[in-house]
Amino acid sequence: MNSKIRVRYAPSPTGYIHIGNLRTALYNYLFARNTGGEFIVRIEDTDRTRYVPGAVENLINTLSWAGLDYDEGPEKGGAFAPYYQSERLSIYKEHADYLIKNKKAYYCFCTPERLSQLREEQKKINNDTRYDKHCLHLSEEEIQKNLADGVPYVIRLNVEKGIKIAFKDIVRGDVEFMSDIIDDQILIKSDGFPTYHLANIIDDHLMEVSHVIRGEEWLPSAPKHILLYQAFGWEPPLFAHLPLLLNPDRTKLSKRQGDVAVEDYKKKGYLKEALINFIALLGWTAGDDKEIYNFDELIKSFSLERVNDSGAVFDIEKLNWLNEEHLRAKPDSEIVVMLRDELQHTKYAKDDYTDEYLVNVIEAMKPRITFVKDIFEKAPYFFEEPETYEEASVKKGWKANSPDILKKFAEKISAIENPKKEDYEKAIADTATEMNVGKGNVIHPLRLATSGVSGGPGINDICYIIGKEKVEERIKRIIEKLG
């Protein structure tokens, strides 16, 4: 085997990218970068019935968004191009012919009707449904006549019975299968395209892939692939089958219980850093209690030996927590760019906000949000005057003397030019003293006036951010409305 570490991510362009597929790509990427190896992307597009236009572009864009920069593949090329299987058909045909010549594979001319009848007969007697090798016993003359007459055919692998297929999986340890349970799988379909099994192992061999890192659902296919490697006389790569992703009820992760497409999480505003951190921990641990990683830390810490063999539960609450943590760790200058982008999708798009103003809003709201867009939902008062006042807060915090208290507070701040946070704090304290009330009797109605709600950042922050003029306007407005 080639001593160089070479791994590949080989998706089918069938639509959106499942979160589990992104984890497969991530683990391949982290392993390659950790070992100084190479990360290949190959498009397995031989099943034309499932091909979705635009899926390849979406795939490449998603990998780019996630920061998974590949060394060889579509658009980049490489020493083993082409990286689209649909452009490698002659390679597969040549290798299938080799298998037929060496009696490792054979032509099958059985009609769909015969195959359907065979399955029904096997079901009736509770036998596993598999091909009965009928066409393996055709004479050379019959085969050549069928080919000359244009009879539709597939090419099947000739699986010998009674053979033990054993290999060591990096994640699962020793794995054994008996060939008796393996069907004479189709290698070339009637449309001339190869099946996944044939194209996959030919490309992995020719592209010098050293490790095949893929989901647990491919484990039953591993013996088929090993038989193909043996049929060609090739040494198989090392295998690592990753654990399933599970819903909280431990069923297989599915769209019925929540989003499974990477695109959905992008649209909802999850940071790529949080999503990558989260899916890295779905089946892997560095062996300590650390949970927050940046990309470089993941690369440095990752190893296949520490991937678990049991299913990993997709915990959306943990993802939300990680998003909050990564958002708080970002510099304000980055978040401002994100906030301006979100602004374009709101009714405030035409308003003109300085970076300084937005940074102040961000600093006040950072501890209180999961996504940048939450700012507009949780603190619209930074962008518009409140239209209504929280009913429960009015009952609790708006008293008969509240208008007089707010008027006194407004007098205090009107005398200050460009007040700072501490000026607002002093004005609250002085107002409380002069009106002979507790500071809460100033703070509660002032918060209602400026924000319309009872929660949120400190009242000094709110007043300082929106500015003295808006504070005075909002005080006047609430007095007019509530009396």
Report, as an integer, the average pLDDT of 93-109. Answer: 97
Unique residue bearing structure tokens 């006194």: 408
- Catalytic site residue from 255, 267, 300, 347: 255
Q: What is the pLDDT of residues 103-131, one digit of tens each?
A: 999 999 999 999 999 999 998 888 888 99
What confidence score (pLDDT) does residue 48 get?
A: 80
**Is 89-242 CATH 3.50.50.60?**
no
Kindly state the tokens that stand for 326: 């990564």
Q: How high does pLDDT run on average in the chain?
A: 94
What confidence score (pLDDT) does residue 259 get?
A: 76
What confidence score (pLDDT) does residue 471 get?
A: 97
Q: Is residue 2's pLDDT more than 60? A: no
Interhelix angle 332-343/355-365, nearest 10 degrees = 100
Q: What is the pLDDT of residues 38-88, one digit of tens each?
A: 999 999 998 888 888 999 999 999 999 999 999 999 999 999 999 999 999
Q: What is the pLDDT of residues 26-35, one digit of tens each?
A: 999 999 999 9
Element (H, E) at 240: strand 238-242
Dist. CA 211–CA 326, nearest whole Å: 32
- DSSP letter assigned to residue 256: G
Report, as an integer, the average pLDDT of 144-156. Answer: 97
pLDDT classification of 199: cutoffs 50, 70, 90: very high
Phi, psi of 192 (to 5 degrees): 90, -5
Beta strands 6-9 and 38-41 are parallel
Unique residue bearing structure tokens 């020793």: 174
Do 385-482 and 89-242 have the same topology in CATH? no
What confidence score (pLDDT) does residue 14 get?
A: 87
8 A C-beta contact, residue 169 and residue 220: no
What confidence score (pLDDT) does residue 334 get?
A: 95
Q: Is residue 21's pLDDT more than 80? A: yes
What confidence score (pLDDT) does residue 44 get?
A: 94
What confidence score (pLDDT) does residue 296 get?
A: 97
Give start and end residues of each alpha helix (H) in 344-458: 355-365, 374-378, 391-397, 402-414, 421-435, 440-451
- DSSP letter assigned to residue 15: S
Pairwise pLDDT comparison (178 vs 129), residue with the higher score:
178
Class of domain 385-482: mainly alpha
Report, as an integer, the average pLDDT of 252-266. Answer: 83
Other CB atoms closer than 10 Å to residue 400's CB: what's the count? 7
Q: Is residue 1's pLDDT more than 50? A: no
Closest CA to 212 of 220, 200, 230: 200
What confidence score (pLDDT) does residue 256 get?
A: 64
Q: What is the pLDDT of residues 302-359, one digit of tens each?
A: 999 999 999 999 999 999 999 999 999 999 999 999 999 999 999 998 888 999 999 9
What confidence score (pLDDT) does residue 275 get?
A: 98
Cβ-based burial of 75 (10 A; exposed 0-12, middle 13-18, buried ≥19): exposed
8 A C-beta contact, residue 442 and residue 430: no
Q: Rg of the chain over CA atoms, in angstroms?
A: 32
How far is C-alpha 171 from the geometric centre of its chain's CA atoms? 22
Q: Which residues contact 112 (CB under 8 A, 6 or more apart)?
A: none
Sequence spans of domains, the chain: 89-242, 385-482
Kindly state the tokens that stand for 382: 């930074």
8 A C-beta contact, residue 454 and residue 440: no
Dist. CA 76–CA 96, nearest whole Å: 29
Whether 300 is catalytic is no
Other CB atoms closer than 10 Å to residue 229's CB: what's the count? 16
b vs e for 169-203, b when ≥16 Cβ sit within 10 Å of the residue's Cβ?
bbbbeebebebeebebbbbbbeeebbbbbbbbbbb
Q: Is residue 255's pLDDT more than 80? A: no
